[in-house]
Structure 1
């Protein structure tokens, strides 16, 4: 392992009541890094986290709150002085317990439904959280409509810009061929959110406070040897409607299929409903959020904002085509879902 890294790890660990045997770098992405450290009390996981003290204190507070409410997630190990983190040369490090297990697989229906029940339990357990230190570091709840509107306007701008380019490449052509369809999806989604039920849910959540994980997906989950579902990576917690996490997992699962699958969507939502029941009106809001072309927008913004510099043009085009196919297959499924909502809601 890089001697500079080893030195940093040793300096951080010197603040803990731990003796180090071995250090392994698991991942390094610029501002983030993860190490596995063998110590006299067993393995611990050390993370370099890319945010400030207030955010770290909130993350630790939320982890404790969720654990107290029955969520399985690795605990934070305190330093000799009782702190939950170490600051070193303007960088922050947190040490976690190690948890052993394997990632659940979407293809195994029982494991997929376990993820949805786990997500519902996570949302339920987070309710009522307060942050003693003041404002929450992330409060996406109040930014929904403005964020979707901004994305819609970006798609419009790219459409105007690329239409005027004389030598359009293959990506431009595919984008321009389909963008009108997705702009219509944006408009329908935004108009569906102009709904007093949405505003009411937002107002209620301002009071009850519930957290979204923002990436409650297989890569951040593990099924432990005792069968419990463990949740990792609490870096991006935000106060929001549970819809954000629900839409993300549905998009993740459906883009791995050849097309959106109505029966699978219903099974997933029934699993969620068993633990944390939502109303018909709230499922309408989920449908509105899914209708917005998040996958298409994400792929297009990666290309036009040059966020994946190492990708080839072929990879960008291939990914775009996949996302277009997924997005185009969802409208009839969402209509079918709304007609079968009674069945889902009664499952709670």
Structure 2
């Protein structure tokens, strides 16, 4: 006998003209959230997703708009009544194509290109319900930046022992403060105003798992559950950090490529390169590593910690030097 969950899923699928005698729910890809479904006759596969009501239907409507604009997302299906989702028991359910993976991860170049294309395409004349109450103001962006710089300053003071770690912490705090100073000089206010006028949308979780390289070599973006109206700078920063988490990566090479590719594709934000550069100067990777270790009460002075922080600091210093020159050339 089918479980209550299975009966509910079959009921949802029936609204897409897919009935229990014709389909198999093959696998639960994510517990109580994502299922792989197959049509028994055609062998076509689909992904059925569940989204909590507290997140609203915004991610589904965004996905549908991107698909309508022929952006590279999986096909999203409409029900028999031309709806993009079914609302049941405090959740939204929606159906999309299953993307057959190639077995390879997209390159970092493809990840940069994917984000740039998303920012260039996710601009719509009308707000997608529910309309946001507000965008971040310049003072909010500066305040958040200032708070992180202050945290690094406090950490540097707390371990001021004149040793190698103390020197590294002071250096990173100095870079953080310089980044803040450059951000104050940038055209941040105009950038914030423009993003709001354009109704800019952020993916919110742009990691390597949410850009798929399909078997047919197409690049597909997925998972808009955390998408929101906001400054595209947030996604750009998130990508920058993910591209530089490994201290073995060439910081300057990757930063240069990120700026070159992103703005060549998403040229509408080219006037605000100085904002992106000033924010990117901040030692984001070093900051997240030290703050994370502090929260977990891990010792920063251990040989392994010191070795990692030294390599990250070297990476951040090279990135800062490159971006300082870049900022001046843009300013």
Please name the residue that 1:115 is paired with: 111
User: Using the alignment, how far apart are the partners of 1:216 and 1:292 within structure 2?
Assistant: 20
Any residues of structure 2 matched to 1:315-330 within 5 Å, and which?
Answer: 322=308, 325-330=311-316
Please name the residue that 1:98 is paired with: 98
Residues 254 and 261, structure 1, Cα contact 8 Å, conserved in 2: yes
State which of 15, 26, 29 in structure 2 corresponds to 1:26: 29
Distance 1:132 1:122, change over 3 A: closer
User: Using the alignment, how far apart are the partners of 1:8 and 1:304 within structure 2?
Assistant: 45
User: Using the alignment, how far apart are the partners of 2:29 and 2:132 within structure 1?
Assistant: 30
Q: For structure 1, which runs of at least 5 residues remain unmatched after alignment?
A: 164-172
Please name the residue that 1:49 is paired with: 51
User: Using the alignment, how far apart are the partners of 1:341 and 1:188 within structure 2?
Assistant: 12
RMSD, aligned α-carbons: 4.0
User: Using the alignment, how far apart are the partners of 2:265 and 2:323 within structure 1?
Assistant: 20
Residues 299 and 319, structure 1, Cα contact 8 Å, conserved in 2: no
User: Using the alignment, how far apart are the partners of 2:45 and 2:250 within structure 1?
Assistant: 41
Please name the residue that 1:168 is paired with: none
Question: Is residue 219 of structure 2 the alignment partner of residue 219 of structure 1?
Answer: no
Question: Is residue 258 of structure 2 the alignment partner of residue 262 of structure 1?
Answer: no
Question: Is residue 141 of structure 2 the alignment partner of residue 144 of structure 1?
Answer: yes
Residues 46 and 95, structure 1, Cα contact 8 Å, conserved in 2: yes
Q: Name the SS for the 1:256 alignment partner.
A: coil
Deviations 1:159-191 (A, max 9, x none): 88x77xxxxxxxxx9997855444333322222
Residues 58 and 137, structure 1, Cα contact 8 Å, conserved in 2: no
1:202 positional shift: 1.0
User: Using the alignment, how far apart are the partners of 2:243 and 2:99 within structure 1?
Assistant: 25
Please name the residue that 1:72 is paired with: 72
Q: Name the SS for the 1:329 alignment partner.
A: helix
Residues 213 and 219, structure 2, Cα contact 8 Å, conserved in 1: yes
User: Using the alignment, how far apart are the partners of 1:184 and 1:177 within structure 2?
Assistant: 11
Please name the residue that 1:192 is paired with: 182
Distance 1:132 1:255, change over 3 A: closer
1:59 positional shift: 1.9
Distance 1:279 1:131, change over 3 A: closer
User: Using the alignment, how far apart are the partners of 1:144 and 1:103 within structure 2?
Assistant: 39
User: Using the alignment, how far apart are the partners of 1:317 and 1:92 within structure 2?
Assistant: 49
User: Using the alignment, how far apart are the partners of 1:38 and 1:141 within structure 2?
Assistant: 47
TM-score, normalised with respect to structure 2: 0.77
TM-score, normalised with respect to structure 1: 0.73
Question: Is residue 37 of structure 2 the alignment partner of residue 37 of structure 1?
Answer: yes
Question: Is residue 112 of structure 2 the alignment partner of residue 135 of structure 1?
Answer: no
1:267 positional shift: 2.7
